[in-house]
Amino acid sequence: MRKKIVAGNWKMNKTMDEAKALLSEVVNMVKDEVSGDVTVVLCPPSIYLTTSRQYIPSGGRIMLGAQNCHEKESGAYTGEVSASMLKSVGVEYVIVGHSERRQYFGETNAQLAGKVDRVLENGLTPIFCCGESLDLRENGDYVGFVKGQLTDSLFHLSAEALANVVVAYEPIWAIGTGLTASSAQAQEMHFEIRQHIADKYGDAVAQDISILYGGSANEKNAADLFSQPDVDGGLIGGASLKSRAFTDVVKAAQ
């Protein structure tokens, strides 16, 4: 049975003191208010990961996630962070291939395949992001484009390895724009993603993979989005920076 997951991607936000306050608030709110079977992943900037680990109780529903890692295990890559480094400070999940990484840093599907491999080799869970631009949504084969991202970056994996991957569908046109895919649009793409995985690996594998929605989901629309049969939670951006809003999103996924 696939997991319900809500991951908060803080992106490049918060000072250390602000991060500590947000961590404390979210951890306590989730403890007090969330009783259902949902996993919470907090993804602060990498500079705060060690401190964040101290705020997150071990063995609970809240997990620590990183926003990125390098595709090499080690080497002369100034400023980069490897999956083994993340593992050593208690990280459990790693976002791979967020649309902003693809857009601003030119990350390719082949490069992301390497990142997925390094994350899995270190016993961590990749949250693999895929999604289409507004131009593709309006004028192109957006379903085929997203399927291509999955094929190029994930389909080299064995079925056993793929079972440890979380997929996040991000309609790029709905990130930071105030636009949000309707629940029907989200369900359509989540179904297509799951079916594409089933075509390669079989229905049993596809049905066990969590697919998150990642496009301006917030406390107001989360319940509707998460009610769809193939939407297993969310990768939350702006709303994850506010403890009340984020906790309400988590509660919507119960």
Q: Which domain holds residue 239?
A: 5-252
Q: Which of 170, 192, 196, 219 is catalytic?
A: 170
Confidence of residue 108 (pLDDT cuts 50, 70, 90): very high
The DSSP H or E segment spanning 102 is helix 99-105
192 belongs to the catalytic site: no
How far CA 144 is from CA of 108, 192, 225, in Å, comes to: 17, 9, 22
Nearest to 126 by CA among 172, 74, 176, 71: 71
Rounded distance, CA 132 to CA 130, Å?
A: 7
Confidence of residue 1 (pLDDT cuts 50, 70, 90): confident
As for how many domains the chain has, the answer is 1
The model carries a pTM of 0.97
Q: Which of 70, 71, 98, 196 is catalytic?
A: 98
Where residue 244 sits, what CATH number does that domain have?
A: 3.20.20.70
Which range has the worst mean pLDDT, 4-8, 120-124, 132-136, 142-146? 132-136
- How many CB atoms sit inside 10 A of residue 65's CB? 25
**pLDDT digits 0-9 by tens, 66-78:** 999 999 999 999 9
Which range has the worst mean pLDDT, 15-19, 108-112, 128-132, 174-178? 174-178
170 belongs to the catalytic site: yes
**pLDDT digits 0-9 by tens, 3-29:** 999 999 999 999 999 999 999 999 999
Of the two residues 212 and 179, the one the predictor is more confident about is 212
